[in-house]
Amino acid sequence: MSGTMKRSLWVSGAFFLVALAVWFYQLKEGLILTNMQNSFNWGLYISGLAFFVGNAAGGLVLTSSIYLFGVKQLKPLAKLGALTAFANVTAAMLIVLPDIGQPLRLYNLILHPNFMSPLVWDVIVLNLYALASAIYLYILMLPELTGKLSWLAIKVENAHDFSERWAKRIAPVALLFAIGIHVVTAWIFSTQGARDWWHSPAMAPDFVSVAIAVGTTVVLLAGALAYGTGKQYEPAYRTLGLIIFMAICIHLFLMMNDLVIHAWYGNAETHRIMEIAWGDFAWAHIFEVAAPLIGAGLLMLPAVRRSLPLLALSSVILIAGVFVHRFLIMPAAYNNIPMTMTPLGLPNTHWALPIASGRFFPGVSTFLDQYSYTPSLVEVVILLGIMAYAVFLVLLAISKLPILVKESN
């Protein structure tokens, strides 16, 4: 193991432990340590859930597509795709726990599941997806599980042929799982009819397009860091760059299509949503559009793909833009109070009913109809710690397992 790998493992592992300690502190003190309110009860943690699920879905979409469509130049990246998928889906499951005030009460979901709730289906899909990713990764590694790792290998007559055969057989199922995990996550938002900003049939396909873009970018970045940017990998990186660019274009089309339809309504509620989205968060919205487009455009350039620093910078720009996009799911939905009243029976006049914030500050009203949510330091540290966990898991697997063994054909 190289010195850089050891240092990276120590840093990412230490940061995860710090985040774990902060979460225990939050468990002791309660969700009051976050900046969420009664009217704004999903924040950075749920944004992180959507982000990690996207990374996970995109990774397995790439890996399963390699075997489903026979894209041989991408085969050296297949195990990395399955590994990043597993790391991110487990990170998605971890980030949900801090969002729950009493995570031990999750047993109620097992004992008394409400199958009409998309949250129940999301829990089921996340666990099945983690299992599918782990199985797929194991099948891909099977031919290289020799020597000290031979005890992990199942006994088959020809490990290479077995791996190739079952990777192709499982590929269609894995692809459906990869798409399904993000569709179900999108349904958590889009089935909330009272939240007009979310209540859109375009959200599920948009989530999938973003997942393909950011998940493929994560695999591209991991591959470039692991293998370098040598000429032998240029065809693979060119293909990934094209996939990323096309997925970003589809995402931007779906997002703009939804915005145009919202704006076309012309009613007071829609005007309120657009005022929040493009008023208070205008620069953030510009960034969520510009950053992925710039990052994807740069990755289309051969000179960028041949330079590791430029490739990494372009990837980080795209990933940052997607994360901001995930965060901006929340404000326009939560700051447009869905409960209204008609004062004195006046026609075409609606007042938003104020909601108790759940907090008391001297001299400040406990009721509000808008809240400028900013994540607290506790939320930021826990999210960064879960990101560090995903990095740690990927690095540990690369150092201990035959993830980077090049395919023979």
Of residues 341 and 87, more confidence is placed in 87
- pLDDT per position as a tens digit, 264-281: 766 666 676 777 777 778
Provide the pLDDT confidence category of residue 15 given band limits of 50, 70 and 90: very high
33 φ, ψ to 5°? -70, -20
CA atoms in the 13 A half-sphere facing the CB of 341: 5
DSSP 24-72: HHHHHH-GGGSS--SS----HHHHHHHHHHHHHHHHHHHHHHHHHTT-G
**What's the pLDDT at 120?**
85
Q: Higher-confidence residue: 114 or 379?
A: 379
Name the more confident of 4 and 204: 204
Angstrom distances, CA of residue 152 to CA of 138, 139, 142, 206: 9, 11, 9, 39
pLDDT of res. 269: 63
Q: d(Cα 84, Cα 391) in Å, to the nearest integer?
A: 9
Residue 37: CB partners within 8 Å, gap ≥ 6?
Answer: 357, 358, 359, 368, 371, 373
pLDDT per residue over 334-352, tens digit each? 877 666 666 666 666 666 6
Query: What pLDDT is recorded for position 409?
Result: 42
* Cα within 13 Å of Cα(218), Cβ side: 37
Alpha-carbon distance of 268 to 31, in angstroms, equals 34
Half-sphere exposure of 257 (CA within 13 A, CB side): 12
pTM: 0.88
- Does the pLDDT at position 108 exceed 90? no
**pLDDT more than 70, % of the chain:** 90
List CB contacts of 17: < 8 A, sequence separation 6 or more.
Answer: 385
* Per-residue pLDDT tens digits for 301-333: 999 999 999 999 999 999 999 999 999 888 878
> For 107, phi and psi rounded to 5 degrees?
-60, -25
Domain boundaries, the chain: 11-191+378-409, 196-339
338: three-class secondary structure by DSSP: coil
pLDDT above 90 covers a percentage of the chain that reads: 40
| Secondary structure class of 355 (helix, strand, coil) | strand
Residue carrying the six token digits 């589809």 = 250
Residue 407's pLDDT is: 45
200-242 confidence digits (pLDDT tens): 888 889 999 999 999 999 999 999 998 888 888 898 999 999 9
pLDDT tens, position by position, 138-161 = 999 998 888 888 888 888 888 889
Q: What is the mean pLDDT of the chain?
A: 86
| Cα pseudo-dihedral 176, 178, 180, 186, rounded to 10 | -150
CA separation for the pair 397, 393 (Å, rounded): 6
Tokens of 73: 């130049």
Structure tokens at 341: 């009243």
